[in-house]
Homo-oligomer: A and B are copies of this chain.
Amino acid sequence: MAQKTPPDSTRRSERSRRAIYDAALALVTEVGYAKLTIEAIAARAGVGKQTIYRWWTSKGAVLLDAFLDLGDQAARAAGENAGQAEIQSEIPNSGDLEADLKYVLRATVDEFNDAKYDAPYRALAAEGLLNPELGAEFVEKLLEPQLQLYVKRVEQARDAGQVAPGVDPRIALELWAGPLAQRWLMRSGPLTHDYADKLVEYALYGIAPRPETS
């Protein structure tokens, strides 16, 4: 399922790779995952289908890499906007965990509401539910790296005394990441900035009445 050999870095390969990603993302939106084929991706990208089979073993693997690349591009653009040379791949640390989490979760809500991400991400998630091999790759390459950014930020907050010492950061982050993913995937409720804010507040301070700070 993984890339067999990474595309080499010549300009021609890079151009083919990008054309394949663009074709896979456009086609899954147009025809849906069930009708997506390697042949159609190759035709749309203007490459031979052997070019695709040389680099990937299945349409799911192509789509996953195309989607990961979309995320890299967005992160790179965000980094450039922020005047940084490199990819923005950390959760900001202003010293205020609540503010930083709200900032990132509001951006995630905006991303989830962006049609560009909808069809491919939904297709990958659905296919991952039924196909354990692609599911494991989805978690390893896409979901877990995103969640690890929260682990790091929660650890920083714990070191700064803003998170209780006994808290497991890998579980803590699920209090906001799990609900967001569920609402988005299941369409079980509105995805708004206010919702994102409430998740952060409830997770940080709990839903039980909080004793007054003296």
**Chain A residues at the B interface, C-beta cutoff of 8 Å:** 32-34, 97, 122-123, 125-130, 132, 135-136, 138-139, 143-144, 147, 154, 161-165, 167-168, 170-172, 174-175, 177-183, 185-189, 195, 198-199, 202-214
Find chain B residues with CB under 8 A from A164 CB: 207-210
Q: In the complex, which of the residues B125, B136, B207 contacts A172, with contact meaning CB atoms closer than 8 Å? A: B207
Contact present for B126 and A168 (CB under 8 Å): no
Contacts A/B (CB < 8 Å), 9 sampled: A126-B127, A138-B186, A139-B186, A163-B207, A171-B179, A172-B202, A177-B182, A178-B178, A182-B182
Q: Which of A97, A154, A163, A206 has most chain B Cβ within 10 Å?
A: A206
What is the interface of chain A mostly: helix, strand, loop, or mixed? Answer: helix
CA distance A210 to B32 in the complex (A): 48
A199-B175 contact given A163-B207, A205-B208, CB 8 Å threshold: yes
Contact present for B209 and A206 (CB under 8 Å): no
Q: In the complex, which of the residues B165, B167, B198 contacts A171, with contact meaning CB atoms closer than 8 Å? A: B198
CA distance A175 to B213 in the complex (A): 24
A179-B175 contact given A212-B211, A214-B211, CB 8 Å threshold: yes
CA distance A180 to B82 in the complex (A): 36
CA distance A173 to B71 in the complex (A): 30
Find chain B residues with CB under 8 A from A205 CB: 206, 208
Chain B residue with the shortest CB-CB distance to A182: B178
Contact present for B154 and A207 (CB under 8 Å): yes
CA distance A175 to B209 in the complex (A): 16
CA distance A147 to B186 in the complex (A): 13
Contact present for B123 and A186 (CB under 8 Å): no
Give the shortest distance, in Å, between A67 (CB) and chain B (any CB): 15
Contact present for B175 and A202 (CB under 8 Å): yes
Which A-B residue pairs are the 7 nearest by beta carbons?
A206-B206, A178-B178, A178-B179, A174-B179, A126-B129, A205-B206, A178-B182
